[in-house]
Amino acid sequence: MLTKPIDEAQAIAIIEVLLAATKTTGAFFDITITGNQGVSYRYSSLSKALQDSFDRTYDTLFEDVASEIWKWYAYIFADGKVLSSKDVFSRYIKCIAFSNSRPMRIAKFHDSGSNDYFVMLLRTPKWAEWAYRGFVYVIEGNHSDDEARLLILEDFDRERQKFERLKAKFDDKHANEATYERPRIPENVRIEVWRRDGGKCARCGSRERLEYDHIVPISMGGSNTARNIELLCEKHNRSKSNNVV
């Protein structure tokens, strides 16, 4: 998952480090493409010193913030203009906003060993990364941009529908639990139990404060039939409830 847009103060500090490296080395990063399609990059000695300074100042790793900005490198610097740190940050925010409205490609890599990022963007990729609504999708194979977007939208919609179903399922469950009421004992059953038990507690014979008690609780599958109901005085009914495990 992509991080949320980087804090502006941290982003500006990072960008100034990277722009300083660009002036020194002539490149935003010295990028190396490995055989397993991994990517590594390093900074000049000047940027390394600035990196250490950043790590001491902010409660965020330089690498984590820099890699987020680097994902949008091809879009931010596509026109070749000389940009200030605020210009770079503004373009970065626009990339994030755009990727929240439609899937946006953020990287393509190959086994060719080329470190020319713009060349990599133009070639047919073995895999490509796309961003959409805070998520990163890896699309493998020779798909056109339109096809890749459709695959991402389909996956996102499938996930959305799944969580909507889960929300509806558990919201209904909680609503049912909140509104649950034990069914009232039918009047004819109450009369039958009263006559059977002689109008007194089935445990002690008391005729005071009598209650109808389910032998097997309704919540455990018991029924509202005379066979499952007995008369108990309040004392014995409460003691029974306290002993139910």
* pLDDT per residue rounded down to tens, the chain (245 residues): 455 567 788 788 777 777 766 665 444 444 444 444 444 444 444 456 666 776 777 766 677 777 777 778 778 877 878 888 888 889 888 988 899 899 998 854 444 444 444 434 444 446 788 889 888 888 888 888 899 999 999 999 999 899 888 888 887 665 555 555 667 899 999 999 999 999 999 999 999 999 999 998 887 888 899 999 999 999 988 887 544 43
Q: Position of tokens 């005085």?
A: 233
Please state whether beta strands 39-42 and 104-109 pair in parallel, antiparallel, or not at all (unpaired).
unpaired
Domains, the chain, in order of start with CATH, read 8-157 (no CATH), 187-243 (1.10.30.50)
Predicted TM-score (pTM) above 0.85: no
User: So what's the pLDDT on residue 174?
Assistant: 59
Tell me which residue of 83, 141, 129 sits closest to 104, measured CA to CA.
129
Strand partners for 136: 131
Whether the CB-CB separation of 214 and 226 falls below 8 Å is answered with: no
Q: Which two tokens stand for residue 120?
A: 């990599």
By residue count, the chain amounts to 245
The pLDDT of residue 31: 43
